[in-house]
Every structure is written in structure tokens, then in C-alpha cells.
Structure 1
Amino acid sequence: MARDLLLGEGLDAFSMRTVAASAGMRLGNLQYYFATRDDLLEAVIRAEIANDLTVVEGSLRAESAVRDVSELARQLVENWSSGAGGVYLSLASLAYHSDRFRALNREVYESFYAAIGSLVRRIDPDAALPDVRTRAQLMTSLLDGAALQLHAAVHTKAESDALIERAAALLVAIAADRQSSRSNPAVP
């Protein structure tokens, strides 16, 4: 219920009183579990990250990590561009002004880097640890950017599918450390 209100009404309209009313409970009862609005927001954000990490971890259990990167990209990007991204945008906004949410933002990204780094390790077991982290950061950046583009600028299913397909191919290339000669002038 709190997540739906955050996504539907936005961060500015998100209040303990509104959540309590929507849940049909007294404000005091809600405050028993979440003393402050920030406590409730943190719980909503943590629940969202747990769901997304479950998707990533599912890819780790699959037979073919390379094949499943495409499905992982599709699931995460579609989830983030269809509403759940609003939870992360709220976190990013809060992180600019609050040490608490800045720390949570770092924690969220570190969790993603670790999970996606494990996927990189399955695809390229010989990769050095610092390189695994860098690739995980690049892959996360690509997923974040693709989701933002789908939400803000891509308007047709064909465009959406093409963007996700290309992003998935790039994710596999990053994970496997394959560089495209088209984008690397150092490659003859």
C-alpha cells in the first residue's frame, strides 16, 4: 500500500497520515511499526531492492548465464520503467539531502554490484576482482539508463523492444569483456 502511494502520488505527497488512511488504520498504529516517514520510506525501498535482487539471483541459478542476461535485462528494465523506478528515483532524490538515504543509496548499489558481479564471474571466471566490479557498475549504469529512457523517451513497443535487445547485447559484451571494434578506435 505504501509503495503504491509513493508511486502513484509521488514523494512530496507521501505522508504517514495518507498511508494510514489508505490502509484503514490509525496513524498511531502505523507509527508503532514505523516511527517516522523516513522509516517507512526506507522499508518501501528495501522491499523493492529485495525483489530486484531476487530477479538477479534467479539469473545466477540458471543454466546459461549468458542466455539469461537478456531476460534479466528485460525483467529489470521493464520493472523499473513501469513504476518501480519511481522508488529508486525517490531514493536518489532523498540521497542528495539526507545522510541516511545517501548511505542507503550506496548500500542498494553495492548490493547490485555484488549480485551482478557474481553474474559476471559466471560468464568470465578469470576476471580480476576490480574488473568484475567495474563491469558490474557499467552494467548497472546501462540498466538504469535504459529504464529511464523507456520511461521518459521511448514511446512504441518496437522502440522499447529494440532498446532492450541492444542493451542486453551490450550487457553480455560487458560481462564477457568483449569490446566492439565499432566503438573502440584502438581496435583496427
Structure 2
Amino acid sequence: MPRTVDKEAQRRIVGDALLGLVSERGLDAVSVRTVAAAAGKSVGAVQKYFSGKDDMLRFAAELVGERVEHRMDAVDPAGSTGEVLRELVLATLPVDPARRAEAAVSQAFAARAVHHEGLAAVQRETDQAVRTALAGWFEELREGGRLESGADCLHLADAVIALADGFTMRMLYSPGECGALVAALDTALARLVPVE
């Protein structure tokens, strides 16, 4: 009887290996061969699940997005607006080794998307989904009287995303400053979000 292979599980194994490789050695170290070796698989086995490097990067970016989404979904919405927003942003930042690997892949993917329209489209789709969800949360807060009535929810969402992107980059190249950067994040969020 032929053995049944769980294609999604195999893709996740390769995706995890790619995340680790990018975190340890950078995007330049990623190839089908190096990812296959990191995953403990043959090049042919990896090629069964991915058409090439861009396909692996796209999947890894989706995997990162899924993990961030799970962390954000786990944030308890019962706290104060400031506390919840802080936890939502922290869910996206590279504050531990696993999140650092995820952020390194996300940044590499974004940089590659500058010159690759297919990857840029995936990046724009992800950004729009985050923007829409965050702006929707701000609108709920505004309607519930927990945010200033005149607050522009889309602009606030864009500002929070830009803030998170900037802190992510700083934490990637200055990992020893994470504590100070989280303190700076707290200051920035307290001034950015006009809570009533």
C-alpha cells in the first residue's frame, strides 16, 4: 500500500527550515538546496512541494502571517485600549528568537517585493488585511466612546503599522536594545492613540 504524505505538513517543515535559515544566515543563504538540507530532505523532495525560491519565500511569508495572526487573536480585548493596542503591536515584533526568524523573513520578503510584482501583490494584500482589521477595531472603539470621536481610524491604523514596521527593523539590527525599544513603543503609542 502506498504511503500517504501530508503535503501541507511537508510544506510546513520546509517553511520552518527556511525561517531558521534566514534568521541564522540571511536571505542570501536561501536556495532550494540549502533549505532542503536544513529541512533534512532531498532537493527533489522539496521540489515536489515548491516550484522554487520565490514560492518557498511566499509560503514562509504566509506562515509568518498565520503565526502573527494567531498571536494577535490571542490578545485579550478586555483590557484598556492602550494595553490591548500594545499587546497587538508586541505580537508582531521580534522580541524572541522565533519571532526574530519570522521578522527576518518578512523583511527579506518585503525587500524582494520591491523588484518582483508577484511578491509585491502578496505584500500589498497582507498589508491591506492588517490595515482593514486594525481600522475596524479603532472604529469599534470610537463608536463605543473609547477613542476620540474625531479620530481617523484608517490614518491611525497606518500610523500604528508604520510604527511597528520601524520598531521591527530596529529590533532586527539592534537586538540588544529590545527593552529600550519596547519602552519607546509605549511612549509612542500613548501619544499616538487619542483615548477618551
Bin the TM-score by the shorter chain: 0.7 to 0.9
* Post-superposition offset of 1:149: 2.7
For the aligned residue pairs, the C-alpha RMSD in angstroms reads: 2.7
Distance 1:170 1:57, change over 3 A: farther
1:97-122 per-position Cα deviation (integer Å, ceiling 9, x unaligned):
10111101101211210221232123
For the pair 1:125 / 2:143, whether they are aligned, the reply is: yes
Distance 1:78 1:38, change over 3 A: closer
Counterpart residue number, 1:64: 79
Segments of structure 2 that go 5 or more residues without pairing to the other structure are 1-16
TM-score by length of 1: 0.78
For the pair 1:51 / 2:67, whether they are aligned, the reply is: yes
Query: Could you tell me how far apart the structure 2 residues matched to 1:58 and 1:122 are?
Result: 18
1:145-168 per-position Cα deviation (integer Å, ceiling 9, x unaligned):
122233335844652342122133
Q: Which amino acid aligns with 1:88?
A: S
Query: Could you tell me how far apart the structure 1 residues matched to 2:105 and 2:21 are?
Result: 11
Q: Could you tell which deviates more after superposition, 141-150 or 117-126?
A: 117-126
CA contact (8 A) 1:3 1:44 kept: yes
For the pair 1:9 / 2:21, whether they are aligned, the reply is: no
CA contact (8 A) 1:77 1:164 kept: no
Segments of structure 1 that go 5 or more residues without pairing to the other structure are 179-188
* Post-superposition offset of 1:68: 1.3
* Post-superposition offset of 1:72: 2.1
* Post-superposition offset of 1:171: 4.7
Distance 1:55 1:114, change over 3 A: farther
Q: Which amino acid aligns with 1:107?
A: E
Query: Could you tell me how far apart the structure 1 residues matched to 2:35 and 2:94 are?
Result: 26
Q: Which amino acid aligns with 2:79?
A: S
Q: 1:76 aligns with which of 81, 92, 100?
A: 92
Q: Which amino acid aligns with 1:166?
A: T
Distance 1:156 1:6, change over 3 A: closer
TM-score by length of 2: 0.75
Q: Which amino acid aligns with 1:132?
A: C
For the pair 1:100 / 2:121, whether they are aligned, the reply is: no
Q: Could you tell which deviates more after superposition, 80-89 or 115-124?
A: 80-89
Alignment of 1:1-188 (within 5 A): 1-59=17-75, 62-64=77-79, 66=81, 67-79=83-95, 82-125=100-143, 131-152=152-173, 155-156=176-177, 159-173=180-194, 176=195
Q: Secondary structure at the match of 2:28?
A: coil
User: Percent of aligned pairs with the same residue?
Assistant: 23
CA contact (8 A) 1:154 1:160 kept: no
CA contact (8 A) 1:76 1:143 kept: yes
Distance 1:121 1:64, change over 3 A: farther
CA contact (8 A) 1:70 1:168 kept: yes
